[in-house]
Amino acid sequence: MSNEDQSKHSSAETEPRGISRRNFLGATAVTGATALAGAAGLGSAVMTRESWAAAVKESSQKIHVNPGELDEYYGFWSGGHQGEVRVMGVPSMRELMRIPVFNIDSATGWGLTNESKRIMGDSAKYLNGDCHHPHISMTDGRYDGKYLFINDKANSRVARIRLDIMKCDKMVTIPNVQAIHGLRLQKVPRTKYVFCNAEFIIPHPNDGSNIANLDAAEQYTMFNAVDGDTMEVAFQVIVDGNLDNVDADYTGKYAAATCYNAEKATDLGGMMRLERDWVVVFNIPRIEAAIQAKKFKTLPGSNVPVLDGREGSELTRYIPVPKNPHGLNTSSDGKYFIANGKLSPTVSMIEIARLDDLFADKLKEPRDVIAAEPELGLGPLHTTFDGRGNAYTTLFIDSQVVKWNMEEAVRAYKGEKVNYIKQKLDVQYQPGHNHASLTESRDADGKWLVALCKFSKDRFLPTGPLHAENDQLIDISGDEMVLVHDGPTYAEPHDCILAKRDQIRPRKIWDRQDPYFAETRAMAEKDGVNLDTDNKVIRDGNKVRVYMTSVAPTYGITEFKVKQGDEVTVVITNLDLVEDVSHGFCMVNHGVSMEISPQQTSSISFVADKAGVHWYYCNWFCHALHMEMVGRMIVEPA
Ligand code: RUQ
Ligand code: CUA
Ligand code: CA
């Protein structure tokens, strides 16, 4: 690609479309595309320069949230291979909070405290993560504000965040697979299942016993369902090919996933060999019935029911679609699964109402469920919806978001002469996901759209060779999309989700009975300690437990003695009842720090391996005398 070309045309988005077009990438960049997009002409009339300027001005005013005013939407952003989830206010695009998940965070002590390590379980040993897909739990196809689920591709995990406290409270490693990527939730009747795709094909068993003759080994990957309530793996389904993205329908019956590696290749060329890969549809009631009927096996090392969903199985259907499809999105009207062609300029619209017939073998061929295959442009990756019948698809190679009408695309597919493309908007640059407000629910309201661009190039002050990504906010409430904000973000928020602010109901202070620290409470009870009142040091062999309270600006214990080599656990209960008075605990030179918010109990363990005097201090600014909120650990030499 030519960098000069790309930077020269950076202001194109403020032009009425049709007046300025960027020659973004040469055709050479279109590796593997089956056809160059004969991008259909634009649908509606071109705006005048004046009306365009007025629209931009009006939209820009909407995003200014005055000091002291609150945003209308919560946005939850994946932090990509940085591992966290970020909470944003939309439309201001202000970052409100960070929720550490698959990373280590010294501000909150995530990955350091005993509470977080218990949640991370065995995988706490991994210090990295790679999250992509944050999704809010649903009841009857609407966000219920209870949980947010997110995948970790790097270490094959799924995590759950409690949205009342905005902390991760469960994490599970999916067994027998590698790289959990696509993740979406059952929408109806409620989020019982978290569907998540393992991307990479591996030999089974993958214990080295078959590497001498890998070709003869059985090699596959699996579709997985995690029980959203217990966070245990409910089932795994063996598939042909590989799995990329997934979504579920509004009947509760079907989930569908894209496969880009029908070839089961291990190299780039091989993965692009076929003109078509497929979408695999999973029949959830049939899967549940098969488990009931004990028609499953288990794999060594786990007791998760494993079902065979390969070609010919009654549990799945394979629908050929062109070529290396990526995103899979259920339209908010519940009618279509939309597979985004990536190496094909098309998206494939699968009519969900025809899936019953497909599973009943009443159709001549699987592709009879295709309602349309509109041609949109180069590199379609993800599609989102405005609830008014329009879809918005990112074109990675064209660096555009294309707005198109679904019913018109269906009519065009039937041969009618109708132009389903409404507008193409330049974005900066190379968008992956885009996401419209409330789009994954029945309530899609067509107000805002975020285009998550992988490249920002010239859009921000330079920060060295590593550039920010660019999450662009687009007003989609009118006939025309209007770009209103450039939002720099750190590596790399693949995806986000926007919910109405009243759909999320966070607590202001912790509940003293919160299960988040129930195990710490149980430990205190065993030690005869009342967390709400006691300041006590308990010695148990070489284990020392220091229980203290905190009330701004003091700790309940300002000096304690241990012996060199003791394993020390500090348990702090913040008795402050005032909103926002969080304390911290940092033991200097020991790698120990954590957050203790109002009415929270937090604990952290370390070895007192250095004799002498060691100060500890509060590292969350809590009071005029915050600097004085300190204490000392005296370590007697061994
Ligand atoms: S994927 S840029 Cu990880 Cu959602 Cu498509
Ligand atoms: Cu307590 Cu700062
Ligand atoms: Ca392929």
Within this chain, do residues 414 and 287 fall inside the same structural domain, yes or no? yes
- Judge whether 430 lies within some domain: yes
User: Among residues 475, 490, 505, which one ends one of the domains?
Assistant: 490
Element (H, E) at 210: none
Token pair, residue 362, equals 């009443």
Within this chain, do residues 363 and 406 fall inside the same structural domain, yes or no? yes
In angstroms, the CA 126 to CA 411 distance is 51
Can you tell me which atom of ligand 1 is nearest the CA of 327?
5
User: Among residues 39, 62, 85, which one ends one of the domains?
Assistant: 62
CATH number, residue 185:
2.130.10.10
CATH number, residue 595:
2.60.40.420
Within this chain, do residues 419 and 539 fall inside the same structural domain, yes or no? no
Determine if ligand 2 sits within 6 Å of the CB of residue 342.
no
Q: What local confidence, expressed as pLDDT, does residue 41 receive?
A: 41
In angstroms, the CA 389 to CA 385 distance is 7
Nearest Cα neighbor of 344 from 382, 366, 377, 369 is 377
Determine if ligand 2 sits within 6 Å of the CB of residue 583.
yes
266 forms beta bridges with none
Positions of the chain with pLDDT under 50: 1-45
Q: How many domains does the chain have?
A: 3
Within this chain, do residues 486 and 519 fall inside the same structural domain, yes or no? no
- Judge whether 136 lies within some domain: no
Determine if ligand 2 sits within 6 Å of the CB of residue 596.
no
Within this chain, do residues 195 and 52 fall inside the same structural domain, yes or no? no
Nearest Cα neighbor of 429 from 379, 374, 362 is 379
Determine if ligand 1 sits within 6 Å of the CB of residue 327.
yes
User: Among residues 36, 62, 88, which one ends one of the domains?
Assistant: 62
Within this chain, do residues 484 and 526 fall inside the same structural domain, yes or no? no
Determine if ligand 2 sits within 6 Å of the CB of residue 630.
no
626 DSSP assignment: G
Determine if ligand 1 sits within 6 Å of the CB of residue 132.
yes
Within this chain, do residues 257 and 216 fall inside the same structural domain, yes or no? yes
Determine if ligand 1 sits within 6 Å of the CB of residue 335.
no
Determine if ligand 2 sits within 6 Å of the CB of residue 389.
no
Token pair, residue 233, equals 């793996």
- Judge whether 623 lies within some domain: yes
Q: What local confidence, expressed as pLDDT, does residue 284 receive?
A: 98
From first CA to last CA, the distance across the chain in angstroms is: 64
Within this chain, do residues 543 and 600 fall inside the same structural domain, yes or no? yes
Query: Which-ligand-closest: CA of 574?
Result: 2
Between the CA of 340 and the centroid of ligand 3 the distance, in Å, is 13
- List the residue whose alpha carbon is closest to atom 1 of ligand 1: 494
Can you tell me which atom of ligand 1 is nearest the CA of 326?
5
pTM of the model: 0.93
326 DSSP assignment: -
The range of the structural domain enclosing residue 616 comes to 515-636
Query: Which-ligand-closest: CA of 596?
Result: 2
In angstroms, the CA 182 to CA 224 distance is 10
Contacts of residue 569, Cβ cutoff 8 Å, sequence gap at least 6: 114, 543, 544, 545, 546, 603, 604, 605
| 292-345 confidence digits (pLDDT tens) | 999 999 999 899 999 999 999 999 999 999 999 999 999 999 999 999 999 999
Can you tell me which atom of ligand 1 is nearest the CA of 244?
1
| 426-463 confidence digits (pLDDT tens) | 999 999 999 999 999 999 999 999 999 999 999 999 99
In angstroms, the CA 196 to CA 183 distance is 4
Can you tell me which atom of ligand 2 is nearest the CA of 583?
1
**Residues 638/563, Cβ–Cβ less than 8 Å:** yes
